[in-house]
Protein backbone atom coordinates (compact mmCIF):
# COMPACT_ATOMS: atom_id res chain seq x y z
CA UNK A 1 0.00 0.00 0.00
CA UNK A 2 2.85 2.34 0.88
CA UNK A 3 4.48 1.70 -2.46
CA UNK A 4 1.17 2.37 -4.22
CA UNK A 5 0.65 5.70 -2.42
CA UNK A 6 4.23 6.71 -3.16
CA UNK A 7 3.70 5.96 -6.82
CA UNK A 8 0.46 7.97 -6.86
CA UNK A 9 2.12 10.94 -5.13
CA UNK A 10 5.03 10.74 -7.54
CA UNK A 11 2.61 10.73 -10.46
CA UNK A 12 0.76 13.75 -9.08
CA UNK A 13 4.02 15.62 -8.53
CA UNK A 14 5.16 14.81 -12.07
CA UNK A 15 1.78 15.90 -13.41
CA UNK A 16 2.14 19.22 -11.61
CA UNK A 17 5.61 19.63 -13.03
CA UNK A 18 4.28 19.42 -16.57
CA UNK A 19 0.89 21.08 -16.16
CA UNK A 20 1.77 23.76 -13.60
CA UNK A 21 5.22 24.62 -14.89
CA UNK A 22 5.03 23.36 -18.45
CA UNK A 23 4.85 25.16 -21.75
CA UNK A 24 3.86 28.80 -21.38
CA UNK A 25 2.79 28.85 -25.01
CA UNK A 26 -0.27 26.76 -24.21
CA UNK A 27 -1.59 29.55 -21.97
CA UNK A 28 -1.59 32.14 -24.77
CA UNK A 29 -3.72 32.21 -27.96
CA UNK A 30 -0.65 32.16 -30.21
CA UNK A 31 -2.54 30.29 -32.91
CA UNK A 32 -4.78 33.32 -33.58
CA UNK A 33 -3.80 35.68 -36.40
CA UNK A 34 -4.93 38.78 -34.51
CA UNK A 35 -5.42 39.32 -30.81
CA UNK A 36 -8.46 41.05 -29.32
CA UNK A 37 -8.55 43.01 -26.05
CA UNK A 38 -9.86 39.80 -24.46
CA UNK A 39 -6.77 37.93 -25.68
CA UNK A 40 -4.55 40.67 -24.25
CA UNK A 41 -6.43 40.42 -20.97
CA UNK A 42 -5.74 36.68 -20.87
CA UNK A 43 -2.08 37.32 -21.64
CA UNK A 44 -1.81 39.98 -18.93
CA UNK A 45 -3.41 37.63 -16.40
CA UNK A 46 -0.82 34.98 -17.27
CA UNK A 47 2.00 37.51 -17.03
CA UNK A 48 0.83 38.72 -13.62
CA UNK A 49 0.67 35.10 -12.43
CA UNK A 50 4.20 34.52 -13.71
CA UNK A 51 5.45 37.60 -11.85
CA UNK A 52 3.69 36.51 -8.66
CA UNK A 53 5.38 33.11 -8.88
CA UNK A 54 8.79 34.62 -9.74
CA UNK A 55 8.76 33.04 -13.17
CA UNK A 56 10.27 34.44 -16.32
CA UNK A 57 7.96 36.61 -18.41
CA UNK A 58 7.58 36.09 -22.17
CA UNK A 59 10.66 37.68 -23.73
CA UNK A 60 12.68 37.92 -26.91
CA UNK A 61 15.67 35.94 -25.65
CA UNK A 62 13.72 32.80 -24.84
CA UNK A 63 12.87 30.84 -28.03
CA UNK A 64 9.94 29.24 -26.22
CA UNK A 65 8.24 32.56 -25.48
CA UNK A 66 9.59 34.95 -28.12
CA UNK A 67 6.56 34.37 -30.38
CA UNK A 68 4.26 35.19 -27.47
CA UNK A 69 5.98 38.48 -26.83
CA UNK A 70 6.08 39.41 -30.52
CA UNK A 71 2.33 38.86 -30.62
CA UNK A 72 1.91 41.25 -27.69
CA UNK A 73 3.55 44.09 -29.63
CA UNK A 74 2.17 43.25 -33.08
CA UNK A 75 0.65 46.51 -34.33
CA UNK A 76 -1.51 44.55 -36.79
CA UNK A 77 -3.65 43.55 -33.81
CA UNK A 78 -4.84 47.16 -33.59
CA UNK A 79 -4.56 48.29 -37.21
CA UNK A 80 -6.80 45.51 -38.52
CA UNK A 81 -9.69 46.97 -36.51
CA UNK A 82 -8.89 50.68 -36.27
CA UNK A 83 -8.31 51.04 -40.02
CA UNK A 84 -11.41 49.07 -41.05
CA UNK A 85 -13.94 51.60 -42.32
CA UNK A 86 -16.55 48.86 -42.57
CA UNK A 87 -16.67 48.73 -38.78
CA UNK A 88 -18.74 51.27 -36.88
CA UNK A 89 -16.96 54.09 -35.10
CA UNK A 90 -18.57 53.15 -31.77
CA UNK A 91 -17.08 49.66 -32.04
CA UNK A 92 -13.67 50.98 -33.07
CA UNK A 93 -13.62 53.57 -30.29
CA UNK A 94 -14.49 50.94 -27.67
CA UNK A 95 -11.88 48.58 -29.11
CA UNK A 96 -9.25 51.34 -28.86
CA UNK A 97 -10.23 52.11 -25.28
CA UNK A 98 -10.09 48.44 -24.27
CA UNK A 99 -6.72 47.98 -25.98
CA UNK A 100 -5.35 51.05 -24.21
CA UNK A 101 -6.35 49.54 -20.88
CA UNK A 102 -4.44 46.36 -21.72
CA UNK A 103 -1.45 48.38 -22.93
CA UNK A 104 -1.25 50.14 -19.56
CA UNK A 105 -1.21 46.73 -17.89
CA UNK A 106 1.60 45.57 -20.17
CA UNK A 107 3.52 48.74 -19.35
CA UNK A 108 3.17 48.03 -15.66
CA UNK A 109 4.07 44.35 -16.00
CA UNK A 110 7.30 44.92 -17.92
CA UNK A 111 8.62 48.07 -16.21
CA UNK A 112 10.56 45.99 -13.68
CA UNK A 113 13.84 47.47 -12.44
CA UNK A 114 16.51 45.07 -11.22
CA UNK A 115 19.10 45.54 -8.47
CA UNK A 116 21.46 47.35 -10.82
CA UNK A 117 18.79 49.95 -11.64
CA UNK A 118 18.36 48.52 -15.14
CA UNK A 119 15.12 47.39 -16.73
CA UNK A 120 14.97 43.64 -16.25
CA UNK A 121 13.19 43.29 -19.59
CA UNK A 122 14.86 46.19 -21.31
CA UNK A 123 14.26 45.39 -24.99
CA UNK A 124 10.74 44.16 -24.25
CA UNK A 125 9.84 47.31 -22.32
CA UNK A 126 11.12 49.47 -25.20
CA UNK A 127 8.99 47.46 -27.63
CA UNK A 128 5.93 47.98 -25.42
CA UNK A 129 6.57 51.73 -25.27
CA UNK A 130 6.83 51.79 -29.05
CA UNK A 131 3.63 49.77 -29.38
CA UNK A 132 1.93 52.35 -27.16
CA UNK A 133 2.88 55.16 -29.53
CA UNK A 134 1.16 53.33 -32.37
CA UNK A 135 -1.94 52.45 -30.36
CA UNK A 136 -2.52 55.92 -28.97
CA UNK A 137 -2.60 57.54 -32.40
CA UNK A 138 -5.60 55.45 -33.40
CA UNK A 139 -7.19 55.40 -29.96
CA UNK A 140 -7.41 59.19 -29.70
CA UNK A 141 -8.30 59.57 -33.37
CA UNK A 142 -11.23 57.15 -33.08
CA UNK A 143 -12.45 58.97 -29.98
CA UNK A 144 -12.43 62.27 -31.83
CA UNK A 145 -14.18 60.72 -34.82
CA UNK A 146 -16.94 59.48 -32.51
CA UNK A 147 -17.29 62.94 -30.93
CA UNK A 148 -17.80 64.48 -34.38
CA UNK A 149 -20.30 61.79 -35.41
CA UNK A 150 -22.38 62.17 -32.23
CA UNK A 151 -22.38 65.99 -32.19
CA UNK A 152 -25.45 67.95 -33.30
CA UNK A 153 -23.13 70.49 -34.89
CA UNK A 154 -19.65 69.06 -35.56
CA UNK A 155 -18.36 72.57 -36.29
CA UNK A 156 -19.57 74.04 -32.99
CA UNK A 157 -16.88 75.75 -30.94
CA UNK A 158 -17.24 73.38 -28.00
CA UNK A 159 -16.81 70.36 -30.30
CA UNK A 160 -13.71 71.81 -31.93
CA UNK A 161 -12.31 72.67 -28.49
CA UNK A 162 -12.90 69.12 -27.26
CA UNK A 163 -11.17 67.60 -30.29
CA UNK A 164 -8.21 69.95 -29.91
CA UNK A 165 -8.06 69.12 -26.20
CA UNK A 166 -7.87 65.40 -27.03
CA UNK A 167 -5.08 66.10 -29.51
CA UNK A 168 -3.21 67.87 -26.73
CA UNK A 169 -3.71 64.83 -24.47
CA UNK A 170 -2.11 62.74 -27.21
CA UNK A 171 0.82 65.16 -27.41
CA UNK A 172 1.27 65.01 -23.63
CA UNK A 173 1.26 61.22 -23.80
CA UNK A 174 4.06 61.42 -26.35
CA UNK A 175 5.89 63.72 -23.94
CA UNK A 176 5.74 60.83 -21.45
CA UNK A 177 7.63 58.73 -24.01
CA UNK A 178 10.35 61.40 -24.10
CA UNK A 179 10.48 61.30 -20.29
CA UNK A 180 12.25 57.96 -20.55
CA UNK A 181 15.31 59.76 -21.88
CA UNK A 182 15.84 60.75 -18.25
CA UNK A 183 16.46 57.07 -17.58
CA UNK A 184 18.22 56.00 -20.77
CA UNK A 185 20.93 54.30 -18.70
CA UNK A 186 18.31 51.75 -17.66
CA UNK A 187 18.05 50.54 -21.26
CA UNK A 188 20.42 48.24 -23.11
CA UNK A 189 21.89 49.36 -26.44
CA UNK A 190 19.44 47.06 -28.20
CA UNK A 191 16.54 48.62 -26.31
CA UNK A 192 17.69 52.16 -27.12
CA UNK A 193 17.65 51.23 -30.82
CA UNK A 194 14.01 50.17 -30.45
CA UNK A 195 13.25 53.35 -28.51
CA UNK A 196 14.87 55.43 -31.26
CA UNK A 197 12.75 53.66 -33.89
CA UNK A 198 9.65 54.75 -31.99
CA UNK A 199 10.76 58.37 -32.23
CA UNK A 200 11.53 58.09 -35.95
CA UNK A 201 8.33 56.31 -36.94
CA UNK A 202 5.60 57.83 -34.81
CA UNK A 203 6.49 61.41 -33.92
CA UNK A 204 6.24 62.59 -37.55
CA UNK A 205 2.80 60.94 -37.74
CA UNK A 206 1.78 62.75 -34.56
CA UNK A 207 2.89 66.16 -35.85
CA UNK A 208 1.72 65.91 -39.46
CA UNK A 209 -1.33 63.69 -39.33
CA UNK A 210 -2.89 62.99 -35.94
CA UNK A 211 -2.49 66.25 -33.97
CA UNK A 212 -1.94 68.94 -36.60
CA UNK A 213 -3.84 71.58 -34.60
CA UNK A 214 -2.43 70.66 -31.21
CA UNK A 215 -0.26 72.73 -28.91
CA UNK A 216 3.34 71.59 -29.31
CA UNK A 217 4.91 74.24 -27.09
CA UNK A 218 5.15 71.88 -24.08
CA UNK A 219 6.80 69.26 -26.28
CA UNK A 220 9.32 71.79 -27.58
CA UNK A 221 10.12 72.64 -23.97
CA UNK A 222 10.50 68.94 -23.17
CA UNK A 223 12.79 68.45 -26.17
CA UNK A 224 14.98 71.37 -25.08
CA UNK A 225 15.44 69.74 -21.68
CA UNK A 226 16.09 66.26 -23.11
CA UNK A 227 18.68 67.66 -25.54
CA UNK A 228 20.68 68.68 -22.48
CA UNK A 229 20.03 65.38 -20.71
CA UNK A 230 20.68 62.67 -23.28
CA UNK A 231 24.11 61.11 -23.68
CA UNK A 232 23.14 59.15 -26.77
CA UNK A 233 24.15 60.90 -30.03
CA UNK A 234 21.46 59.14 -32.09
CA UNK A 235 18.69 60.17 -29.70
CA UNK A 236 20.09 63.70 -29.63
CA UNK A 237 19.98 63.84 -33.44
CA UNK A 238 16.41 62.55 -33.52
CA UNK A 239 15.30 65.09 -30.92
CA UNK A 240 16.70 67.77 -33.19
CA UNK A 241 14.77 66.28 -36.13
CA UNK A 242 11.50 66.33 -34.19
CA UNK A 243 12.18 69.89 -33.06
CA UNK A 244 12.74 70.98 -36.67
CA UNK A 245 9.60 69.16 -37.79
CA UNK A 246 7.46 70.87 -35.16
CA UNK A 247 8.86 74.31 -35.92
CA UNK A 248 8.23 73.79 -39.63
CA UNK A 249 4.67 72.74 -38.89
CA UNK A 250 4.06 75.79 -36.70
CA UNK A 251 5.43 78.11 -39.39
CA UNK A 252 3.18 76.51 -41.99
CA UNK A 253 0.11 76.95 -39.79
CA UNK A 254 1.01 80.58 -39.15
CA UNK A 255 1.49 81.17 -42.87
CA UNK A 256 5.18 81.93 -42.56
Q: Which own/partner pairs from 93-101 qualify as long-range (CB within 8 Å, at least 24 positions apart)?
A: 93/142, 93/143, 93/145, 93/146, 95/37, 95/142, 96/135, 96/138, 96/139, 96/142, 96/143, 97/139, 97/143, 98/37, 99/37, 99/40, 99/135, 99/139, 100/135, 100/136, 100/139, 101/37
Would the pTM of this model clear 0.85, i.e. be above it? yes
Question: Is 95 within 8 Å of 82 (Cβ atoms)?
Answer: yes
Phi, psi of 79 (to 5 degrees): -60, -35
* Interval 130-177: pLDDT, tens: 999 999 999 999 999 999 999 999 999 999 999 999 999 999 999 999
pLDDT (average), residues 114-134: 97
The answer on pLDDT for 19 being more than 50 is: no
Percentage of the residues of the chain whose pLDDT score is greater than 90 = 84
Say what the pLDDT of residue 61 is.
96
pLDDT band for 20, please (50, 70, 90 cuts).
very low
* Interval 4-17: pLDDT, tens: 333 333 333 333 33
The residue extents of the domains of the chain are: 27-253
Amino acid sequence: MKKYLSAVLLFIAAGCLFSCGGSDTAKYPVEKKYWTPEDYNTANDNIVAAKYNNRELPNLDNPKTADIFLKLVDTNNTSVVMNDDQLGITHRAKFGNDMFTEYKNLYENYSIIDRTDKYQYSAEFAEILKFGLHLQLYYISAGNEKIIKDADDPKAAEVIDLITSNQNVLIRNYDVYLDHINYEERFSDKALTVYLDGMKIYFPKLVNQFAPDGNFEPMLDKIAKMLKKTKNPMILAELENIKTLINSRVKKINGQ
